[in-house]
């Protein structure tokens, strides 16, 4: 049989990377049960205190490093991870609803040096099976910045399309090239484009913060001028659409016929007073009931503000006035050069992904920091806190090595405890040890004697069995 022994260093890969004062902190670990994964190691820098329910959803990405969508709990322990191989990366990983059910969604593809994505969008159910792979229409490629599902069974997505343009009016070449920022709404089930809007049809080049600067002067087909840079799309009131454009520092509300109803921010803002509400190079604009607008105010690149600000703003469309209601700032202010988002939580708090700075934070309704976590490398375009119940279709996985049984079940969210089973054959397995769930892989220390086979089973908080692994031979 197998006998439980004292816990020393349970995961060889982690122990090998463990550090003393002179060594670097390990950023990844390998697993016995899932040897093809290189698991990022998040670090909680501000312990969770009365946070909103749910887990953290990020898509770790970084040049030349493994990354992908990842669910992490309040202690920095990974619940689910789908690794992608470079140069393929993922962004905008979150929980949304499709056909009345919660689903996981993200963009997957490759990202250029100037932050433009080429790829598609994925929708997965609670068993982690692909429900839909959605692509941009009209022969275009979907960009990384937005994949927003609607109650209509459609999804908004961003597209960047390089087209020839006369840039002489803004200091560029007569025969230059520019990115047309395109908003598409696509039916998820059929792939049919139900709405399309082009920035070049409605927003002049001169509105860009890039006008008469180096990007305009040097624009070519290989490096088009990114004059608009759409980075968020969502439903507005009464069938309208709200869009954020980083490179005009403006949020636009437009109608279904395409005409712009109002501009907020930038060179031609319809809201004032300008001295009261200023933002630059923002991301993630959303309109909420009561004319509450949320956005992530980056303030750079180039740096025009000392630090980034997640903002709640009250707007009055009738009087065209705007007032900042709340901002969420950690004690040590963060300046994020790009990316980022602000998610309002059901209890009135907020969850913030700091984009280009690999930190995520949660704030109470009063603005107090109640959780903060740091990713080991790269960044995550956006970050969210959501409730998710995952039920993987595949069974748990077991491995045994050097007197330790290793258990994992990638994506099962209900595990409270693992049990190790051993015996001479499949019909004579008995419990020989156990351990609380501790991460994507849990180590259960045992000692080998006469057992020939081993398995693991997952228990929920009530002690009920959630699933049992296949048996494997004891080495």
Provide mean pLDDT across the span 247-257.
98
Total-model pTM: 0.94
Model pLDDT, residue 448? 60
In a 3-state reduction of DSSP, which class is residue 20? coil
The set of long-range contacts for 110-115, using a CB threshold of 8 Å and a minimum separation of 24, is 111/61, 111/87, 111/144, 114/223, 114/226, 115/144, 115/338
Which of the listed CATH numbers 3.40.50.2300, 2.40.37.10, 2.120.10.80, 1.20.1440.230 matches domain 29-386?
Answer: 2.120.10.80
Give the DSSP letter of residue 427. Answer: T
What is residue 66's predicted lDDT score, i.e. its pLDDT? 85
Q: Say what the pLDDT of residue 21 is.
A: 40
How far apart (Å, rounded) are the C-alpha atoms in residues 238 and 251? 17
Mean pLDDT of 386-415: 96
> What is the C-alpha end-to-end distance of the chain, expressed in Å?
13
What percentage of the chain has pLDDT greater than the value 90?
Answer: 89
- pLDDT value at 462 more than 70: yes
Confidence of residue 473 (pLDDT cuts 50, 70, 90): very high
Say what the pLDDT of residue 9 is: 28
For the record, the structure tokens of 163 come out as: 């087209």
User: How confident is the model at residue 325, as a pLDDT?
Assistant: 95
Q: What's the rounded mean pLDDT across residues 442-452?
A: 84
Q: How large is the average pLDDT for residues 298-320?
A: 95
pLDDT at 17 > cutoff 90: no
For residue 217, pLDDT over 60 is answered with yes
Mean pLDDT, the chain, whole residue set: 93
Read off the tokens for 99.
């056909």
* pLDDT > 50? residue 361: yes
Residue 62's pLDDT is what? 81
Please give the share of the chain, as a percent, with pLDDT higher than 70: 95
Least confident segment among 1-5, 212-216, 275-279? 1-5
Task: Give the lowest-confidence range in 218-227, 396-405, 431-440, 444-453.
Answer: 444-453
Range 34-48 average pLDDT: 97
What kind and span of H or E run contains 216?
A: helix 214-217
Contacts 24+ apart (CB under 8 A), 70-73: 70/40, 71/388, 71/390, 71/411, 71/413, 72/42, 72/373
User: In the chain, where are the structural domains located?
Assistant: 2-10+392-473, 29-386
Distance CA 115, CA 185 (A): 22
d(CA 132, CA 123): 5
CA distance 266 to 243: 13
**Token pair recorded at residue 301:** 């690149």
Angle at 357 between CA 276 and CA 92, to 5 degrees: 90
Among 396, 397, 407, 395, residue whose Cα is nearest residue 445? 407
pLDDT digits (tens, 9 = 90+) for 262-291: 999 999 999 987 677 899 999 999 999 999
Residue 7 has a pLDDT of 27
SS3 for 289-317 is CCCEEEEEECCCCCCCCCCCEEEEEEEEC
Q: What pLDDT score does 403 carry? A: 85
Q: Which of 409, 402, 383, 390 is nearest to 446 (CA)?
A: 402
Band of the pLDDT at 449, cuts 50, 70, 90?
Answer: low
Q: Are 397 and 405 in contact (CB under 8 A)?
A: no
> Which CATH code of 3.40.190.10, 3.40.640.10, 2.60.40.10, 3.40.50.620 fits the domain covering 2-10+392-473?
2.60.40.10
Q: Dump pLDDT digits (tens) for 101-146.
A: 999 999 999 999 889 999 999 999 999 999 999 999 999 999 999 9
Half-sphere exposure of 295 (CA within 13 A, CB side): 30
pLDDT of 23 > 70? The answer is: no
- How many angstroms separate the CA atoms of 71 and 82, rounded? 9
Q: Give the pLDDT score at 65.
A: 86
d(CA 442, CA 28): 16
Distance, CA of 173 to CA of 115 (rounded, Å) = 23
């Amino acid at each position: 049989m197998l006998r439980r022994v004292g816990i020393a260093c349970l995961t060889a890969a982690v122990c090998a990377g463990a550090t003393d004062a002179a060594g670097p902190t390990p950023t990844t670990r390998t697993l016995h049960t899932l040897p093809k994964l290189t698991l990022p190691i998040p670090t909680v820098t501000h312990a969770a205190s009365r946070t909103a329910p749910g887990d953290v959803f990020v898509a770790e990405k970084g040049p030349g490093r493994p990354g992908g969508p990842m669910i992490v709990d309040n202690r920095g322990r990974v619940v689910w991870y789908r690794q992608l191989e470079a140069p393929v990366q993922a962004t905008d990983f979150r929980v949304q609803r499709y056909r009345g059910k919660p689903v996981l969604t993200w963009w997957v593809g490759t990202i250029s040096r100037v932050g433009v994505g080429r790829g598609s969008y994925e929708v997965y159910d609670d068993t982690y099976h692909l429900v839909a792979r959605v692509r941009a229409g009209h022969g275009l490629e979907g960009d990384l910045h937005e994949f927003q599902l609607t109650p209509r069974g459609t999804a908004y997505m961003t597209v960047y399309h390089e087209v020839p343009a006369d840039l002489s009016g803004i200091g560029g070449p007569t025969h230059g090239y520019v990115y047309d920022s395109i908003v598409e709404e696509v039916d998820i089930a059929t792939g049919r484009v139900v709405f399309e809007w082009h920035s070049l049809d409605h927003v002049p080049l001169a509105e860009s913060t890039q006008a008469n600067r180096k990007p305009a002067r040097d624009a070519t087909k290989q490096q088009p001028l990114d004059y608009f840079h759409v980075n968020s799309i969502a439903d507005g009131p009464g069938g309208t659409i709200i869009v954020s454009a980083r490179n005009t520092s403006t949020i636009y509300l437009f109608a279904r016929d395409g005409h712009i109803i109002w501009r907020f921010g930038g060179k031609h803002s319809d809201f004032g007073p300008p001295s009261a509400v200023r933002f630059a190079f923002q991301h993630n604009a959303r309109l909420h009931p009561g004319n509450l607008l949320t956005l992530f105010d980056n303030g750079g690149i180039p740096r025009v503000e000392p630090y980034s600000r997640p903002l709640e703003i009250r707007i009055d469309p009738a009087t065209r006035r705007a007032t900042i209601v709340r901002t969420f700032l950690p004690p040590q202010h963060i300046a994020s050069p790009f990316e980022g988002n602000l998610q309002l939580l059901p209890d009135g708090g907020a969850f913030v992904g700091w984009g280009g700075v690999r930190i995520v934070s949660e704030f109470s309704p009063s603005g107090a920091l109640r959780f903060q976590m740091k990713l080991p490398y790269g960044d995550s375009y956006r970050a969210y806190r959501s409730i998710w119940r995952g039920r993987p279709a595949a069974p748990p996985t077991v491995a045994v090595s050097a007197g330790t049984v290793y258990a994992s079940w990638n994506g099962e969210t209900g595990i409270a405890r693992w049990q190790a089973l051993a015996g001479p054959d499949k019909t004579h397995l008995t419990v020989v040890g156990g351990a609380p769930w501790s991460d994507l892989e849990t180590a259960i220390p045992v000692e080998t004697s006469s057992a020939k086979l081993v398995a693991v089973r997952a228990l929920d908080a009530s002690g009920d069995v959630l699933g049992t692994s296949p048996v494997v031979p004891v080495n």
